[in-house]
Amino acid sequence: MKPLFILPGWGLGRGPLQAAATALGGAFIDLPGYGEMPLEADFDRAAASIADRLPPGATLAGWSLGAMLALAIAARAPAKVGKLLLIGGTASFVQRETWPEAMPPATLGEFAAAIAADPLALLPRFVGNFNRGDAKARAVTTEILRLASPLPAGDVLATGLGWLRDVDLRLDAPRITAPTLLIHGAADPLMPLAAARALAALIPGALLQVLDDCAHTPFLSRPADFLDLARPFVHD
């Protein structure tokens, strides 16, 4: 079995993913600017830097923004990624031509401005919003906020939001050669299910598994079902 490395999402750090990582035997690679990782403002250089840390043939998992980085790494450094697990992933976080199932750029701009003004006040609203539609929305939101790592510096948060605004991986996805599993909540309001379906169609041979009554954090909302999907893929 190849080692598993996990890339967390924007703003929240390792905490929400810790139980899943432990169950799967995975190790974290922090996003740039989080933990001891230096900030890298350029998405392409950040992806290359993370790829350099991976042994050949690793299993790479990512959640949300981490899934976008994992996707880019698998496409651009195929020798480093033997398997790819994307959780709540998308090829483009914002709407673009022929990519309508995403956040309007203006909405992301408003959120970025609000985060810059008062990140601690906005974090609960952000987490609550991406759990809308989840059968356990209130409990999962409370749990995420309890588990979240301390917020990184403002420039780190702004860098990640800039990536979400600018990065478009639709041309990268067809280049992926690693076996790929996408796990997605049917009610995910942040990365809509239609975007996950479109992404799965772009990646050769990709398998999309959908968890009903679940939003953006399937590993917390339906942990046993999430592990039933992820464990055979990771450990096979």
For helices 119-130 and 105-117, the axis angle rounded to 10 degrees is 140
Question: What are φ and ψ of residue 60, in 5° steps?
Answer: -120, 125
Q: What is the pLDDT of residue 121?
A: 86
- Rounded to whole angstroms, how far apart are CA atoms 135 and 113? 30
pLDDT, one tens digit per residue, over 123-171 is: 888 999 999 999 999 999 999 999 999 889 999 999 999 999 999 999 9
The answer on pLDDT for 36 being more than 90 is no
Alpha helices (runs of H) in the chain, residue ranges in sequence order: 18-24, 43-53, 65-76, 105-117, 119-130, 137-147, 154-166, 193-202, 218-221, 223-235
- Rounded to whole angstroms, how far apart are CA atoms 160 and 30? 13
User: All domains of the chain, ordered by start, with CATH?
Assistant: 4-235 (3.40.50.1820)
- Rounded to whole angstroms, how far apart are CA atoms 158 and 114? 11
Q: What is the pLDDT of residue 86?
A: 98
pLDDT, one tens digit per residue, over 176-211 is: 999 999 999 999 999 999 999 999 999 999 999 999
Q: Which residues are catalytic?
A: 64, 188, 216
Convert 216-232 to b/e letters by CB count within 10 Å (16 or more is b): bbbbbbbeebbbebbee
Mean pLDDT on 219-231 = 98
- pTM (predicted TM-score): 0.96
Q: What is the pLDDT of residue 165?
A: 96
Q: What is the pLDDT of residue 120?
A: 86
- Rounded to whole angstroms, how far apart are CA atoms 71 and 160? 16
